Structure 1
Amino acid sequence: MTPAPYRFQQLSREDFEALAARHADVVIPLEQTPYWADFETRLGRDPYGIWAYYDGGKLIATASFLRSSRRFRPSLVAVNGPTWFAERTPAAEARLVQTIQEQFRADPAVDPLYVRMQVEHPQPPVTGPLEHGWYEREIVVDLTPDTEKIFAGFRPNARNLIRKAEKLGVEVRTIERAQWTTVFRTELFPIMQETAARDGFSSFDSAFYETLLDELGDYLRLMVAYMDGKPVSWLITTEYRGYSVYYFAASSRDARKTNAPYLLLWEAFKVLKDAGNTGCGLTGIESENYPSLANVTTFKRNFSKTIVTVPTTYDIPLRPVRYRVLASALRVRREAPSAVAGILGRLKNLPAAVKGRRD
Structure 2
Amino acid sequence: MTTVRPDERPEVLRRATAKEMRIAIGCTPTPVEQTEAWQAFEASQGRSLFGRYVYELEGRPVAAIALYRYEAAGQPYVWAKHGPVWLKEQSPEREAHLRSLLRQEVRSREPRVVFIRMHARYRARDTRELLSTIAYDRTYVIDLRPRDPDRIAEIMPKDGRRAVRRAQRVAEGAGCVIAEETGLDRQAFEEVYEVMVATAVRDGFRPHPCQVYWDMLQSLGPSHARLFVLRRDGVPHAWDLVTVVGRHAVAYYGASSDESRTFRGAEALDWFVARTLAAEGCEGLDLMGADSARVPELYSVGQYKKRYARHATEVDGAWDVPVHRLLYSAMVRARRARWALRRRLGV
TM-score (norm 2): 0.88
What's the C-alpha RMSD, in Å, of the aligned pairs? 2.1
CA distance in 2, matches of 1:298, 1:228: 30
Q: Choose from 281, 285, 290 the match for 1:280.
A: 285
Q: Which residue of 1 aligns with 2:203?
A: 199
Match of 1:79, SS state, is: coil
Q: Which residue of 2 aligns with 1:82?
A: 84
Letter of the structure 2 residue corresponding to residue 327 of structure 1: V
Answer whether contact 1:181 1:213 (CA < 8 A) is retained. Answer: no
Q: Which residue of 1 aligns with 2:127?
A: 126
Identify unmatched segments of 5+ residues in structure 1: 339-359
Structure 1 residues 190, 330: closer, same or farther in 2, change over 3 A? Answer: closer
CA distance in 2, matches of 1:43, 1:211: 8
Q: Which residue of 2 aligns with 1:208?
A: 212
Aligned-residue sequence identity (percent) comes to 27
Match of 1:34, SS state, is: coil
Q: Which residue of 2 aligns with 1:353?
A: none
CA distance in 1, matches of 2:277, 2:164: 19
- Equivalent residue pairs, number: 332
Identify unmatched segments of 5+ residues in structure 2: none
CA distance in 1, matches of 2:321, 2:334: 18
Q: Which residue of 1 aligns with 2:247?
A: 242
CA distance in 2, matches of 1:176, 1:82: 29
Q: Choose from 150, 159, 165 the match for 1:159.
A: 165
Larger radius of gyration: 1
CA distance in 2, matches of 1:180, 1:219: 18
The one-character-per-residue Cα deviations of 1:292-333 (angstroms, maximum 9, x if unpaired) are 333322322222223112222212222223223333333343
Match of 2:96, SS state, is: helix
Structure 1 residues 293, 122: closer, same or farther in 2, change over 3 A? Answer: closer
Q: Which residue of 2 aligns with 1:312?
A: 317
Answer whether contact 2:21 2:64 (CA < 8 A) is retained. Answer: no
Structure 1 residues 45, 197: closer, same or farther in 2, change over 3 A? Answer: same
1:7 aligns with 2:7: no
Structure 1 residues 176, 83: closer, same or farther in 2, change over 3 A? Answer: closer
TM-score (norm 1): 0.86
Answer whether contact 2:167 2:264 (CA < 8 A) is retained. Answer: yes
Letter of the structure 1 residue corresponding to residue 139 of structure 2: E
Match of 2:276, SS state, is: helix
- Greater mean alpha carbon deviation, residues 119-128 or residues 190-199: 119-128
CA distance in 2, matches of 1:321, 1:190: 43
Letter of the structure 2 residue corresponding to residue 204 of structure 1: H
Match of 1:283, SS state, is: coil
1:260-339 equivalence runs, <5 A? 260-335=265-340
Please report how far the alpha carbon of residue 215 of structure 1 lies from its aligned counterpart in structure 2 after TM superposition.
0.7
CA distance in 2, matches of 1:259, 1:333: 40
CA distance in 2, matches of 1:287, 1:181: 37
Answer whether contact 1:127 1:316 (CA < 8 A) is retained. Answer: yes
Q: Which residue of 2 aligns with 1:342?
A: none
Q: Choose from 62, 71, 76 the match for 2:64.
A: 62
Answer whether contact 2:238 2:257 (CA < 8 A) is retained. Answer: yes
